[in-house]
Structures are given as C-alpha cells and as structure tokens.
Structure 1
C-alpha cells in the first residue's frame, strides 16, 4: 500500500509540470493559428448548403449516472446563429462527450409511432453531409473525432459510452469521452476491468459505429498515465497496424470481440479492433492550404438492404472527401472509400418484425495530448426526412448505347464520336421520407464540347412521374440557359410520395474542337447542385471522350438510276477517314434503310489494316426492290462505332411483266389425237428474253374432279427475242395406256391427260425462275359419247391356232356435237373376255379409217385369251375402248375351230411396167407385192393356181398376155391350172409356208408376152385352190 501511495504522489507531481509546459506552448501555437488559420466562426460562416434540421433530431441535456455529465451537443439553427446552414456542434471543449439522435417520434399528437427520423433496415438508405473537426496545432495535435452510430440500445437517446466502476462496494458510473468518441467502451483512469465482455458493456449496446478518428490513441496505461489511451495500437495477424494516422473504420461497439485486454501491475488497458480502415487521412485540419473551402470534409454513408426479405446480412459503404467545397463531386479515383461491406443485422438484437432503428452522431474530447477541437456536422441528406436517390447517365442516341462514366469506370469504352446525338439524364427518385423536399433549385452546369442546340421543343424536358406511374413532361426552353450558354437554372417541383420521380433529359451533339488531325478529347464531369429545404444533393455528369475522327462515305456509282424489274444494279462507294486515319483491319458494316423502312445491316466489308480507303459494293435486284421509286439510305459503321455520313440512292424500278396470251382459249376436239394448246408470251416493256430456255407449268382439271398434278416442261427460245410461243401437247387420258393394265385401274393412278367433258388447263410461263407470267386458262371440250360396235357374223370358223379375223364395225354416234368425229390408226383397244377373264390387245387398224369403220381386226388367239385348243368351240365377249377411255357396247362371238386342214392366203399382186424402149420378148418380172402363203394345221396339202389372160382395163379387150408358172424344169400356163406347191407331211400344230417368198426373180408366176402391148393398164385373175385331202 505504501508503494502504491508513493506512486500516486509521483503521478500528481508530474502533471503539474506538464500542464505548465503545455500552457506555454499551446498559447504560442494558438497565436500562430489565429494569424494563419480561419477561426471556427469563420468556418461556420462559410458552411456549405445543407437541409434544415427543424425538429428531426433530439438529445438529452445530461447523461445520468453517479456522476452527471453534460451532453456537449449544440444545434445551431441558421435562423438563430446567423450562419448560412444548420450546424450540429458535438463538442467544443476539453473532456467533453456528446450525442445527438434522429427523433424517433413526431411531436404531433396523432403521430406517436416510431416512424420519424429513423433508419429503416428494410430499405436502401443514405446519409451524407460535411464534418469539421478543427485543425491541428503547431505540434500536429488534433481533436479526437466523432462517430456515425446506428443503434438499438434500450437507453434510446440516453445511450452513451459509460465508465462503470466500484468504490467501497458502491457502483459508480458516468459518461466518458476521449478515445471512446462517445460510443465505444472506455475507462477514465487505470482500473482493473477483468474482461472484454465487461468492458464492452460500457459501450452503446446493439450498435454499429463508423468512427472518424482524428487522433491516434496508442499509449499504454502506465504508472504515470492518467487515462487509457491504446485503442488505435492493435496490429493484425501480419503485425500491421489496424489503424494508421487519422483514420475511418468501423466495428460493433457492444461486442466483446471488438476489444482486446492487456494487463499490467496496476490494472489493465484495452485496444480496439478496426474493420476496413481508411488510413492516414486529413480529417482534422485542411486539405492543403488553411482556407475555409478546405476545412469542411464531405462524407457519404450508404446502406443496402439484404438481398432477400427477412435476410440478416446487409451491405454498407462509406466515402470520405467525395465532394469539393462547391458541391462538385471529386474524381472517383480520389475518393477515400470502403464499399460493399457485409454487416450482421443480428448485432442490433431486433424485436420480431422490427426494421427501424435509431441513428445519430457521437463525439468526445479529452484523450491525452489531444487538442481541444470542434466536432461539427452539417447534413445534406438524411433517409427518413427525404430519402432522395440521385443519379446521372449518358446515352449515345446515335450509337444506341449507354456511355459509362469514365471516372468510375476507367477501363470502359466511354468514347462517343464527333456529331453523335447525346442524351444526358439527371434522375431524382423520392424513395421514402416524412417530409416533402420543397421546391428544388437546380443549377446544372452543362458539359463542355456538347452543342445543346434547341429544337422546336427546347433543349430538353423535365419528366415528373407520380405514384401511379403517370408522367407529365415539360419542355425546357432555351431561355433557361445563362447568357454564356454554360449553365441551366431550373426550379423543380417539390418531391414526395405523390411526386416520386423527376427526370431531366438534355439533348445535344458531341462537338470536338476544330482540328486538322485525329485525336480524342476528354470531356470532364460537370457539376449539378440540388437545393431545397429538406434535400440537398450534388451530382456530376459522366466523364467521357469524343473521338474527332469522322468516317466518310462517297458514292462512286450514280445515285439516281433506272432499272427494269428483272435487272440488278450495284450501289458502290468509297470509304475513308476525313482526318487521314487508316483502317484498323476490323472491317466496316454497311447499314441501309429502304423507303424509310426498318434499318438492316446489308453486309460487312473487310478492310486492310493501314489502308486509307475501302471499296463499298452492294448488288440489288429490281425484283427485290419491287416496281416503283425507291429511296435507299446507306451509311457505314466501323469497329470504333463511328458512323459515316448517309448517302441516298434513288432507284426507279420499271415494271417488266412476262405477259402470256392464249391463242385459242377454247377447243372442241373431233378426234383422239393429242391436243395442242398455244400461248404467246412477251415482256410488257418489249425487252428481249434473257435465257435460251423457258419453262411451262400447266395443270388439268376435269369437270367434277380434283385437279391433276401440275406438270413443268422446258421449251427453247431465242435469247434477246421479244416474242415466244408456249405450246403444250395434251394427250387423251388413256392414249398411252399399256395393254397389261385395265382401263379402270389405269384411271385410278395419277396420270395426266384429257378426259371426256370439259377440261380446264391453266398455263404459266417463266423466262427465269423468279419471273413467272400471268396465269391463263384454256378449255378443251371432249365430246361425251358411247361408241357402238356391230358385226355381220357372230359365228366364226378358224383353222387351228392361226390368227382369226373378227368381223367388227366401230362407230361413233353422229350428233350435232360429234359430227365428223375422226378415228386414227391405233386408236382402238380390243377387250375380250373368255371364261370370265378379260384380255386386251391392239390389233392393227388397216384400210380406210373412217366413221363408221369396218375394222375386222385380225387377232392372235393368244390375245383373245385362247392359249391352246382344248376344245373346238369358244364363246368370246368383246368390247372396244378409245384413248379417252370411252367404252363401247359388248358383242358375243362363237368361234368353231378346225383341228386339221390347210388354207391359202394371198393379196392382190402386180407385174412390172413394160417399157417399149427396153422391151425384149419373154417374161415380165413381178413387183414386190406378191404375198402367197399356205397355212396348215395337222394336214398334208397341194396348191394349184389357174388364171386368165390379162385384159386391157379399157374396154376389157383380150390380149396375148398370159401368166405362166416357171420353175427350173418347165413353164406352165396358168390356163392349165398347174400345181404350184405341196406338202405331203402331216405336221402337228401350225405351219406357215411362204410360197412367193421362196421364188427367185426368174421363177414362180411370171407374165409372158411376145410383143409390146398397147399402152394401158391390164388386169387378170388368179384362182388359188388348195387340196388338204391328199
């Protein structure tokens, strides 16, 4: 105890010495300061604009405890103090502590809920203003500083840093300042606090604090120390100080983990952990020379609500020195800031459903060796009164993209091109608040190098949006500009929840200064200030760059052209840069708008790096454009988003139709031959054909039936010819039917052809694939008829398996419609049915083919369906069809067969002409029309021929012209009925003997004459007789 008492005595002696010394030096420093630094009153008189505090804040006058301590806060209203702004003066003397809080409850008797000047954790919030913490003295000493505090302490506005201790079993407490800044845990003199939990109990509970600490507390408690002074001396895990010099940092004051306890022989001392420190700031004093405009330091605090409703992790950011004294925002790179810091909302120990907490400021003085200084605050934005969110942006209308602020995004492409149309947006959003802002006086400094040329609607507009999203737009006249056209002065309507949004839009064109060379101009930010009773704000327009190089397009083809529809034209041009830049090799894009329609990108043009010119070319067809006059606007863009001038091409497309005219639109057929329809075609402009071929597409539709499949065929035409003929040969539907399929089955297939009745045929001609003519229609009428077949004898006899001649006459009925209907060879098909099986054949149609036609077809038995003679009598049913599928009536024949016998087959024959000039006595040779054959079936036979002398056909005069049968042995007159040939073999089956075909030219039947007969034609008769009984 004696040692302890001696130590106390020494402590008491030493401060006397220090205090006396301190008085001497401080007086000298104060004298120097007054000579060179502004006074506090001068600083207050030069305070920046702010919002009116009205009754938004409250405080206690005295902090209760065993020792009462006065709250040092003074609220200096402009209306009372004469200063231009309302000022919160936290401290102005030594060993002070003070606090001020947003008023939780309105003074209104009807509005007593916790809904006044609060901070709502469920919304994004912002607090901003200016702080002044005096200046340093000649020895660099400064005041302690202040803190921004968010708290849910049960003490409410009585919450303050408190030192609690016990003396003689009595609990003692009092508010304490110094390094606590009124918010952290603290002690007034060395004492033994056993742990950090107990130490933290002296802080404001359930809170978060951001300290603006202008004095570094780094002294350990020692025998001769009178006060704990070690908060700023802790190091991190790498042994680096957590707080260096004047600093801003944050932590949870009521948490034991915020502090560390250190022991020594007489007690303990404590350090404090600092989170996200901003080191070595100038918080007290001046940024540079000691002038009023450098005394106030701007700060911004931003709170960002949790990402999900009910979440417990939010974000905060704090920024220092982000504005200049005149309100202009400093370059982003010069901000002292910490952003997007995660904070734990559980530290506020909120009640269920609670989202609103108190916020305010605390401050203290009295740290050892610190300077007595003012801790003062001016507020420009507080969330519960009028939480107005402000923003600016720049949109390049020409490039159709937002231009990011180069100050905050230094690597962004924030380059616009000279003459780009720009829109500057200034947005205000009233998010929440208990008061209207009041009319907002706005001074908007215009960005340089932008031509805000007035149009008919002014230089821009103000858009007001109410709570329902309804917009009211007011044009901004040119008269709102100052005379030098650099500043725009506006008064905006007061904002509240019914007038939530205001947008100012300004329109201009990028105008780089004149220069003969290519360069990039940086457009600095321009300041805009908003001033109203309850909202003060400053924003800067985005910093951006202007590229003064211009992409140029020159037309190298005629800009006024005339083409026909089937032709094409090439729009060509030359690209270059007006200030001589070379292409970067990334190519050009060709943009076009036809007839003021939608803009399209035609194609990309490759460029060679280093070249100064590039050729532009685009082919367009008249078919693509269409007939008429067309305006085509073309411009270019490059990889730097430069946009060239626009070239307008005027192209007139003349109509060029392929016109098809039918030659005979309606045809009535009178035979079974293919029908030819003809169309003549030409171009409407009398131009020639482009190709040597054309195509014809036609389709047949028979009345009462679906259309047949269309057919396309190719025809020849002469290139450059002006007229063409399109001919189609249309077959009757069954013209090409084979005999191996029945007519009924054939008509069920997808065959193309004309049928009975009315046939409509459409025709289209195409000179090119995409140039079809008009469609024309032909009508082909095919008479509907029922052919008639008759016979003079239905009882037929036949020898063996030889072909049989069937007596049959075919006839089309004769009416006014079918008069003179013609048959042609191969028109008729014979259908025979034996034993229920039908066979089809097309026997030859010989002789004069007329209507009616005595056909008498000679038919192979196999075609009739008689494959072998297994009986002597067959019944055959016959009908006839024609190429149009008409069917005749049916006839029934009975055929009896001889199973043994022979017969001779002959035709009319002739001899060669006798020429008197070359006549020689003897025989006259035969012509080549002799056809004498013998058919035998299982029989022997002999053939004789008897003949008459030839007579002159004029007068039937007898002559000496006599026919002889001559062989190698003899010559016998036919008057004697000589034997011509014989066969003594009984052969099975059919045998055919070609009698005349085996004669040599000097053998067989010849004509004998001894003198030249009279001129004329001579005729004789040969009677052939065959005997099969030998």
Structure 2
C-alpha cells in the first residue's frame, strides 16, 4: 500500500528536539562533479507536514540519484562568532544511539521469492549509521577511486567505489580510498546489489553479490557492518570470498569477469559484509503504524590495554507506541570492532581528540535498478546530548539465597531466556504471596545538554502483583509502596529519597495500574535515579506468567523505554508445625527432658505433588545458620512429615543448644528456590554451663627502650570472660617467653600475672590462678576478667634490657576447669 509522505510524517513516533545539534550543511564536491546534500530537517509542527516531532529527511521521493549526510555538530566546524555544540561520539565511554527509521513503502519482495537472496527492483539503495574521523569532516562522502566522481547507489554514501561504470580494464586495489576514511559503518541495505556488469556502460553494482563457502553472504534487505576505508584485494575465484580473507584489513574484492559469449572483460567490485542480519523488512509495510522501525546501537569501550570495543545493534526492538518488543523477537547482533581504525588523524583533520569521533547517517540511491523513495529519521537518543543507561530489575524478598545467606534473590527476565533454556528454572520463578521489589534505574553516562527538563516517567505496573501498602513494613505503615532514590547530584537537597504513596497509582481505561512520576532532570555523569516499587505476587491461578510492562521516560533531549522483567508465579511451598512455638524449658541434667523435637510438615498450597528434585530444610539458632539437610521427595508425595531423626535440623539437645534462652528458625527451599515462610520457636535451656570467651590475639604496647617500671603494659582491653551456670570454676594460664618472629633465639619477657595485692607469678614456669568463682546459681553469669584488670595488674610483660628490634610473639595457654 502506498502512503503519502505527509501521512507518514504526521504519524511519526516520539522523538527528541534536535535543536542545533545535527548538521546537514555538508557540501558534496570533487574536482569532477558536485551534488546537493539531500538531507534536511523538518521541525516539529512544520508548515510542510505538521509533523509532531523533529524529522530528519535523508532522501526525498523524487530525485533518482541522491546523496545525503547528517552529522552531530562539532565545535571546530564553526567560526568563533557562531560556535556549534560538540555532539560527538566518545569512544572512551559507553554510548547509545536510538532512532526511528523510515525506508519508504515499496514491497521489498514483491516480484521475487522471499527464500531467494534477492530483493525486488525499484527500491531506494539504503542508509548507513557511521562513526568517522575523516579529515573532510562533515563534508566526507563516497567517491569513485578511479574516476574521482561522487559515488552514489550501492555505496550508501559511505562505502568506496571503483568507478561509475564497469568499463575500466584495470584492477582497483584501493576502493577504500574513495570511502569515508577512518570509519565504521552499519548499513541498512534496502536494495540488494548483485548484478555483474555485462556491458561497457553498465554500472558497478555487485557489492552484495559475494559468496562465502558457496553461500550468499547477504540475503534480501539486510544489516551489516564493516570498515569503509579498508583496502581491496583481488580474488582468485569470481564472486567468492577466499577462505583466508582478512576482514580486519580488507573490505572490498575485485576480479576480472568475462561474460558468456563476450570478447570483452570487465571488473566487478564486491564487498565483504560482517555481522549480517539477513532477510529483513525495512519497507513495504501495509499499516501506517508499522512503517517506522526502531533501531538501537549500544557501544561499550575496550578494556584497558585493548582497542577492541563491543557494539550491539538491534532492529525492531520497539513497537510503534514505544513499548519494547519481546527480546527473542529482536533482530540483533553483538560484535567487536577495532577503534584504532577510527582514531587516525589525517593531515587536515581539525579534530583535537581522536577518541571523540563524528557520528551520523549517510544515505544514497541511484543504482541501475533503484528507484527514489523518502527516507527519514526520528532521533530518540543522541550520545553526547543526554546519554542515559536504563535498566529494570526484580528481586524476591521472600526467597532465601543460600549463596550469601540473605533473604533476597534477583529474578532474571524470562523474556531474555535462551531458546534452549527451560522456563522451569529457579531464576525465573517466584511463589504466590512472595514479597517483590521492582527496580527502575537511570544512570547518566554523558552529555553536554542533559535531559533539558524533568523526566516524565510512566510505569505500567505488572499484572498479578498487589501494589497496596504492606502494613508489616515500616514504609507500608505510612501507606508507602515505593521510593525514588537520587544520588550524585551536585546539590545536597537533590540527593534525597522521595516516597511513593499507594494513592499515586491510578487505573487506566483498560483497568491496568499506572504510575506517573516526574524525575529530576539529569545532566552530570554518574547521576542516578532509582525507582523502587514493593508488591506481592498475587496470581489467581498457578502457574501464571507475568509479562513485562512498559516503562517510558521522556524529556526534551532524552526518550527511552524499557520493560519490567517477565517472570512466573507458582504455588508456594508451605512448612507447618504441630508444636507450640514456645517449646518451654529443657535441662542438660534431665535425661527425660534434655531435647526438643520439631514436628514439621511440608506441602504446596494447592496440594500439588512434589517432584523428584527434593527440597532442603534450613535451621538457624540464635541467628547462626546450621548445616542444611536435604529431604528426599523421590516418592513424589503431596505431603512430607519431616522425621525427627534428621540430625540437628529437627532434633536439638540441651547440650547442643547451651544454657540460656534460644530462638530456633526453620524454613524449607525447593528446587525452584521457592521458600516457605519461616517458623520461629523459643526454648529455654537450664543446666550446667562453662565456657571461656577470649580474643584470638592480644598486644602489648610498643617498646623503644627499657621501661623504668620494669614491665610493659597491655595495649587496649583484653577480652577474657567466663560464662558459667550452676558450676564453680578456676582459670589458670601459662606461656613461653616471647620470641622474635624472624629469629626464635631472641627472647623477650617473661609474661607474668600480678594480682590486685601486687603479688607476681611468672607464666613461664608456673600456671597461676587468674580467676575463680564458686557459682552454684542456675542463672547464667558472665565474669569479665580482662575488663577488671587495672593498668598495673593482670597479665604483664617483664622488660629486661634493650632487645633486637622486631615483632615478638608467644601463645598463652588458658585452662578453665569446673572446680575450685
């Protein structure tokens, strides 16, 4: 279906204001010819089209032969009276570019078999996203390496060209010299050029015709990347890329070709395509809301010491309304590019910093089988205007994470699941009733302009999640369901946490929950805004797959979209007990009452059977976790009474617990990491107890000379404590002299004990009584021995003359017995 350009532009999706950040004033001139740059900008609400957002038109629908380019402005392109904004692409930092692209309405496969490699004829040639450091700056464009004329058609304005026709009877080994130099290009090739020249006046039109191992490299409308300024090699086999072809050094190929029954030979020029996404639909959509296609490029700089950066390019990652499409439906690729090929500063290059390269788009048409059609771009994110990293996360706050002994586990996005991966995986599953935390993160990477104003944020909340306030939490008591956390803003008052109240959630006409927020404007690297929303999994039936919901961020200079993670809600695992949670009192001396037996039962809420993957029972005593115990479910029952003989998990003795008051917490975790609500018991243990609480290391003060007191004081308070219940006790100590760590023949000391009366006893040849107590009280008593030592009593170090410098050490042997 043919669309009027005005209708298409009026239906343009959301885009940012371009202001004076993009430059389309390039002059296309060589010493042989010139051509007007076809690119232009129609500002929002233009008189021509009444388009709602700024639109870059790269090509019109009338001129058969066209070249165009548009670049981010560079400050050194202007005179001092009219300086331009420096809208560069920074190779040292993460960068993103996103835009909506319009390629016209011509059916690309109308008169060809879609399964073949070809496209229909009478399509415009295509568009390219380009990073470049060409000395011609904004005027860089393709030309023929042989004839010096401007090269349109299959070059897309960025690739090199051998010549304007195929009659040159000589090999061209430098087609790249006619390309935009020091560049990387990602092409959107609308028309597959695969015709070998058969007449002296036919055009060089074979860039897409090369094969590798007898397979076509490109098929149909396609995306691919390469280095336009790389060199050319001659192939030994017509139309085939050699197996030893070095794509990092060469992009183009040439070979002499003699058509059948012809006495003349011609040269064809092919091109190697890297990272091909084949068989795409750029044009020919039958619905007006599908003619715009979204494109995102994400750049990650090289690691230290490397020049290999990572580039991810994605096509059709958003629907017309801005909602991201499902991840597995994206046409995408992730590749490595060598940024050293972009950083050469040729003579005449005005760029002061080779890492800050020019970015933009080129377009062209004019191949022998092409036809004109409008090409247009709506920008959503420009790398050095407002470059913000957007992400979403989900955490289950009811699930136990055994890896780090915490009650929080991140849930992965089911939409990102690998094609060979099962959804029956703990990282994608939560249990009905689990407490959840959704996170929406914005991280400002770079950009001279910033967002321009506050970021209007619309969050469509996931289904099957209850976002009402939780009265069991401190936030929920105040009707708070979330918060916005700001960090790294210049003004302290901007680095605050803003509550989100339940009353702020509204319901749209379709009954969906929506939250509208205005985030601070962002304009400085490392500024972050984190939205946290707290909810509870609440599915009517299980299992339920919860789809990701749209998050939209919009400001003058920044637009982006994200989906909340998709996940699965299953039946919760339940752990119940027949016991009173107050287990009463047990006694270490009473053989008839010296242990507790925990009577536990595990099942699923809706009575489903356990599978053969077992589950694990965890026990925690006074905040200290014990070893976990695996409960076998190989017989696949619906209910398991956990036996009392599973070690310390369900049968706990008074001796094991120790005298005093204790809390015992138990919970179960199954193979999907579904965690039961913990059960917490209380128990009191009576009986005899005796233990020593000491530090692993003690220190004396440093010695610079012999002490006038004849001894050296302790450094700090030494922890020496005795815990006792219903038993007398005596504590003694002994120790060898301190020796130099690097030379054990050098001794220091000895250690001695001085009581409150000033009596001294050596720890070397004696074992003096340090403390004792005749305690028959059933109440637990803590005797702080070290804390009661003064400066001149307790364990001291005798100072005998000046010794060799260094660190001296020994071991104190403590002996605690339950008698006087």
Q: Provide TM-score, normalisation by structure 1.
A: 0.57
Q: Which position in structure 1 is the counterpart of 2:712?
A: none
Say whether 1:83 aligns with 2:91. Answer: no
The structure-2 alpha-carbon separation of the partners of 1:594 and 1:657, relative to structure 1 and needing over 3 Å to count, comes to: closer
How many residue pairs match? The answer is: 635
Question: Which aligned pairs between 1:285-296 and structure 2 lie closer than 5 A?
Answer: 285-286=284-285, 290-296=286-292
Contact 1:128 1:380 in 2 (8 A): yes
Distance in 2 between residues matched to 1:339 and 1:602, nearest whole Å: 42
The one of 517, 520, 536 aligned to 1:490? 517
- Residues of 1 paired with 2:628 and 2:555: CA distance? 53
| Distance change >3 Å, CA 156–CA 750, structure 1 → 2 | closer
In structure 2, the partner of 1:842 is none
Instruction: State how far apart, in whole Å, the 1-side matches of 2:730 and 2:140 are.
Output: 99
Match of 2:215 in 1: 240
Which of 112, 117, 126 is the aligned partner of 1:145?
126
Asked if the contact 2:133–2:342 (Cα under 8 Å) also holds between the matched residues in 1, the reply is no
Aligned residue for 1:158? 139
Structure 2 residue aligned with 1:475: 499
Report the more deviating stretch, 77-86 or 371-380: 77-86
Equivalent of 1:130, from 78, 100, 109?
100
How many angstroms apart in 2 are the aligned matches of 1:102 and 1:561?
73
Q: 1:317 to 1:112 in 2, by over 3 A?
A: farther
Alignment partner of 1:482: what SS?
Answer: strand
Residue 574 of structure 2 aligns with which residue?
552
Does 2:87 align with 1:117?
yes
User: Which whole-Å CA distance do the structure 1 matches of 2:611 and 2:221 have between them?
Assistant: 51
1:305 positional shift: 0.9
Which residues of 2 match residues 248-259 of structure 1 at below 5 A? 248-256=223-231, 257-259=250-252
Is 1:209 equivalent to 2:185 in the alignment? yes
Q: Is 1:406–2:371 an aligned residue pair?
A: no
Instruction: Answer yes or no: is the 8 Å Cα contact 1:63–1:174 preserved in 2.
Output: no
Offset of residue 762 of structure 1: 8.1
The answer to whether the aligner puts 1:613 opposite 2:639 as a matched pair is: yes
Asked whether the equivalents of residues 388 and 430 of structure 1 are also in contact (C-alpha less than 8 Å), the reply is yes
**Distance 1:555-1:199 versus aligned 2 partners, 3 A rule:** closer
Deviation at 1:427, TM superposition (A): 0.9
Partner of 2:468: 453
Displacement after TM superposition at 1:459 (Å): 1.5
SS of equivalent residue, structure 2 residue 100: strand
Matched, 1:371 2:371: yes
SS in 1 for 2:598: strand
Q: Deviations over 1:817-865 (max 9, x none)?
A: xxxxxxxxxxxxxxxxxxxxxxxxxxxxxxxxxxxxxxxxxxxxxxxxx
Cα gap change, 1:544/1:121 in structure 2, threshold over 3 Å: closer, same or farther?
A: same
Residue of structure 2 in register with 1:423 after alignment: 437
Instruction: Please say if residues 52 and 86 of structure 1, whose CA atoms lie closer than 8 Å, have aligned partners that are also in contact.
Output: yes
Please give the residue correspondences for 1:297-316 in structure 2 after superposition, counting only pairs within 5 Å. 297-308=293-304, 311-316=306-311
Is the 8 Å Cα contact of residues 430 and 569 (structure 2) preserved in structure 1?
yes
Give 1:649 deviation, angstroms: 3.2
User: Would the alpha carbon gap of residues 97 and 626 (structure 1) be closer, same or farther in structure 2, given more than 3 Å must change?
Assistant: same
Judge conservation of contact 2:22–2:71 (CA < 8 Å) in 1.
yes
SS in 1 for 2:144: strand
Segments of 5+ residues of structure 2 without an aligned counterpart are 112-119, 232-249, 259-263, 347-351, 400-407, 470-475, 589-593, 645-649, 691-724, 735-764, 784-820
2: CA distance between counterparts of 1:364 and 1:208?
Answer: 17
| Whole-angstrom distance in 2 between the partners of 1:43 and 1:334 | 25
Alignment check: 8 A CA contact 2:183 2:342 kept:
yes
Q: Which residue of 1 aligns with 2:787?
A: none
CA shift digits 1:698-756 (9 cap, x unpaired): 9899xxxx99xxxxxxxxxxxxxxxxxxxxxxxxxxxxxxxxxxxxxxxxx999xxxxx
Question: In structure 1, what is the equivalent of residue 380 of structure 2?
Answer: 380
8 Å contact kept, 2:99–2:296: yes
1:436 to 450, 456, 479: 450
Cα distance in 2, alignment partners of residues 773 and 334 from structure 1: 68
Q: Residues 638-673 of structure 1: CA distance to partner in whole angstroms, max 9, x if unpaired?
A: 232222234343435567899xxxxxxxxxxxxxxx
Query: What residue in structure 2 maps to residue 270 of structure 1?
Result: 269
**2: CA distance, partners of 1:200 / 1:613:** 73
Distance in 1 (alpha carbons) for counterparts of 2:629 and 2:125: 68
- Report SS of the residue matched to 2:458: strand
Of 545, 553, 569, 2:596 maps to: 569
| Cα distance, 1:422 vs structure 2 | 1.2
Secondary structure at 1:314 match in 2: strand
Shift of 1:243: 0.9
Aligned Cα root-mean-square deviation (Å): 3.7
1:229-266 residue CA offsets vs partner (Å, 9 max, x unmatched)? 11111111x02111111111111112223222233536
Change in CA separation of 1:649 and 1:247 when aligned onto 2, cut-off 3 Å: same
Query: How far apart, in 2, do the equivalents of 1:643 and 1:700 lie?
Result: 46
Residues 112-165 of structure 1, C-alpha deviations (whole Å, 9 max, x = no match): 999711111111211111111102256544221111111111111111111365
Structure 1 residues 315, 763: CA separation in 2 closer, same or farther (over 3 Å shift)?
closer
Partner Cα separation in structure 2 for residue 505 and residue 294 of structure 1: 34
2:333 pairs with one of 323, 329, 338:
338
- In the alignment, the residues of structure 2 paired with residue 526 and residue 102 of structure 1 have an alpha-carbon distance, to the nearest angstrom, of 33
Distance 2:37 2:127 in 1: 14
Equivalent position SS for 1:163: coil
* Bigger relative CO (Cα 8 Å, ≥ 6 apart): 2
Deviation per CA, 1:561-603, whole angstroms, max 9, x where unpaired?
43243332222222222322333354443345557x4565664
8 Å CA contact 1:193–1:199 kept in 2: the answer is no
User: Closer, same or farther in 2 for the Cα pair 1:555/1:39, shift >3 Å?
Assistant: same
Cα drift, residue 87 of structure 1: 1.0
Q: Secondary structure of 2:209's match?
A: coil
Q: Given the superposition, is the C-alpha separation of residues 560 and 368 from structure 1 closer, same or farther in structure 2, using an over 3 Å criterion?
A: same
Alignment of 1:870-881 (within 5 A): none
CA distance in 2, matches of 1:227, 1:109: 41
Q: Distance in 2 between matches of 1:426 and 1:774?
A: 50
Name the counterpart of 2:155: 180
Asked if the contact 1:583/1:611 (under 8 Å) is kept, the reply is yes
Instruction: For residue 416 of structure 1, report the CA deviation from its aligned partner.
Output: 1.2
| Partners of 2:596 and 2:384 in 1: CA distance | 69
- Tell me: CA distance 1:508–1:750, structure 2 relative to 1, closer, same or farther (3 Å): closer
Partner of 2:11: 46
Greater C-alpha Rg: 1
The answer (yes or no) to whether the contact 2:171–2:267 under 8 Å persists in 1 is no
- Output the CA distance in 1 between the equivalents of 2:688 and 2:729: 22
- Indicate the SS of the match to 1:407: helix
Cα deviation per residue 1:251-284 (whole Å; 9 max; x = unaligned)?
1112223222233536533111111111111012
Q: 1:367 to 1:650 in 2, by over 3 A?
A: same
| 1:481, distance to aligned residue in structure 2 (A) | 1.5
1:498: how far off? Answer: 6.8
Runs of 5+ consecutive residues of structure 1 not aligned to the other structure = 1-35, 167-172, 659-683, 686-695, 708-748, 752-758, 776-1030
Whether the 8 Å contact between 1:106 and 1:112 is mirrored in structure 2 is: no
Q: 1:536 aligns with which of 550, 553, 559?
A: 559
Q: Using structure 2 for the length normalisation, give the TM-score.
A: 0.71
CA distance in 2, matches of 1:62, 1:284: 29
CA deviation digits over 1:520-578, x for unaligned, max 9?
2211111111111111101111121111x222222223434432433322222222223
> Does the C-alpha gap of structure 1 residues 698 and 147 become closer, same or farther in structure 2, counting only changes over 3 Å?
closer
Given the superposition, is the C-alpha separation of residues 255 and 546 from structure 1 closer, same or farther in structure 2, using an over 3 Å criterion?
same
SS at the partner of 1:175? coil
Q: Is the 8 A contact 1:314 1:345 kept in 2?
A: no
**Secondary structure in 1 aligned to 2:319?**
coil
> Does structure 1 conserve the Cα–Cα contact (< 8 Å) formed by 2:198 and 2:266?
no
